[in-house]
Amino acid sequence: MFRIFSSSRLFKRDANKIGRRKKRFTQVHSHSPWRNRARLGVEGLESRDCPTPSITLTAAVIGINTVSLKGSVSDSSPCLDTVTFGGVVNASTKPGTDGCFSLQTTLRDYQGVVSAVAIDPQSQTSNRATVSVSVPAPTLSLSVCYGTDHQVILSGILNATSSESQSISFNGVVCGRTTTGRSGSFSSTVTASGLGKVTANYTDCWNRTATAQATVANTRPQLQNVTIVQQSGFWIISGNVVDEHPQGLTVGLTSTDIPSINGMTATVDQYGQFSFRFSSCVKGWINLDTTDWWASQSILFSDLLA
């Protein structure tokens, strides 16, 4: 015997079974510890707010072994970064809140490259900024002026990054030492041992030398513009002496015809001038000459008093 079910009754029975299974699934999973867990994922670092710093750098030599370093760091909090220098400089500093930094430090060599890198608290490094520095080589000049006896005045200028209070030494016919002034100039009065070359020397802290040379020379003195006039019963003889340092030289007057004036002398003044004055009642030939500090004698000047 077969039981006959209508199609509507079969459909209703299957639907009831599916509903009961779904209810049991929901009840089981509603108590699962994984129900409210957040879904994990991977986020790219590029999307986070962590930019790397960047840096600029300038350098200026301000002393024989000192350099001024300036620049700026671009970062979200630049004052937390550290700027480290390398190359011919070994130092570090911190930027200000505006990212700017300034540092004066010692050079390890007179020329080379200074580098700078900024590092943030997350150890991220900036670009490497570089700049070349060079301390100019010193130069020296020297000239000679002449003083009384064998004294000479040595003067010149030291051109160096630090030219003040530097030691200059002399050798040759002059031995000695002097110190430069504020502008690098120097002047020293010394006694020469004779005629010849004198050399000035300077050595900087990098053992670079500068030298200059001059010559202590001498030429024969000259009697020039000699005039002889009669005035108010006197003979007046005057003239000039041309020499490296005429002041203080002695002009001699000799005459075999006029014994009363033979051996008279006159001292040359600061302008190189000299003069004699004696009675005009005498007549005859007179001679004038002078000898300089280096025993060089002038050409004899002669004239007739008549």
Residue 280: pLDDT band by 50, 70, 90 thresholds?
A: confident
- Convert the pLDDT of each residue in 243-276 to its tens digit: 999 999 999 999 999 999 999 999 999 999 999 9
With beta carbons less than 8 A apart as the criterion, state whether 220 and 299 touch: yes
CB atoms within 10 A of CB 243: 22
Q: What percent of the chain is predicted at pLDDT more than 70?
A: 84
Choose the final residue of a domain: 216, 239, 274.
216
CB atoms within 10 A of CB 151: 14
Instruction: Give dist(CA 239, CA 170) in Å, integer.
Output: 37
User: Number of structural domains, the chain?
Assistant: 3
Residue 204: pLDDT band by 50, 70, 90 thresholds?
A: very high
* Same domain? 143 vs 130: no
Choose the final residue of a domain: 134, 162, 182.
134
* Same domain? 74 vs 106: yes
Instruction: Give dist(CA 281, CA 302) in Å, integer.
Output: 19
What contacts 296, CB < 8 A, 6 or more positions away?
218, 219, 220, 221
* Same domain? 83 vs 156: no
- Give ∠ CA 247-253-256 in degrees, rounded to 5: 165
Residue 73: pLDDT band by 50, 70, 90 thresholds?
A: very high
pLDDT exceeds 70 at position 3: no
Here the tokens at position 195 are 């005629």
Choose the final residue of a domain: 111, 134, 157.
134
* Same domain? 60 vs 121: yes
Question: Mean per-residue pLDDT for 16-31?
Answer: 53
Q: Does any domain span residue 174? A: yes
Q: Which pairs with CB-CB distance under 8 Å and at least 24 residues apart come from 56-59?
A: 56/129, 57/114, 57/115, 57/116, 57/129, 57/130, 57/131, 58/131, 59/114, 59/131, 59/133
* Same domain? 143 vs 206: yes
- Convert the pLDDT of each residue in 118-157 to its tens digit: 999 999 999 999 999 999 999 999 999 999 999 999 999 9
Q: Give the CATH number, domain containing residue 251.
A: 2.60.40.10
pLDDT exceeds 60 at position 162: yes
* Same domain? 300 vs 238: yes
pTM of the model: 0.72
pLDDT exceeds 50 at position 236: yes
Q: In whole angstroms, what separates CA 118 from the centre of its chain? A: 29
* Same domain? 130 vs 60: yes
pLDDT exceeds 70 at position 226: yes
* Same domain? 241 vs 208: no
Q: Does any domain span residue 40? A: no
User: Domain range holding 64?
Assistant: 51-134
Rounded mean pLDDT of the chain? 89
Q: Does any domain span residue 3? A: no
* Same domain? 247 vs 210: no
- Convert the pLDDT of each residue in 177-189 to its tens digit: 999 998 999 999 9
- CB-count exposure of residue 273 (10 Å: 0-12, 13-18, 19+): middle
pLDDT exceeds 50 at position 46: no
> What is the reported pLDDT for 5?
47
- Give ∠ CA 231-235-238 in degrees, rounded to 5: 100
Q: Does any domain span residue 293? A: yes
Q: What is the DSSP letter of 19?
A: H
Residue 306: pLDDT band by 50, 70, 90 thresholds?
A: confident
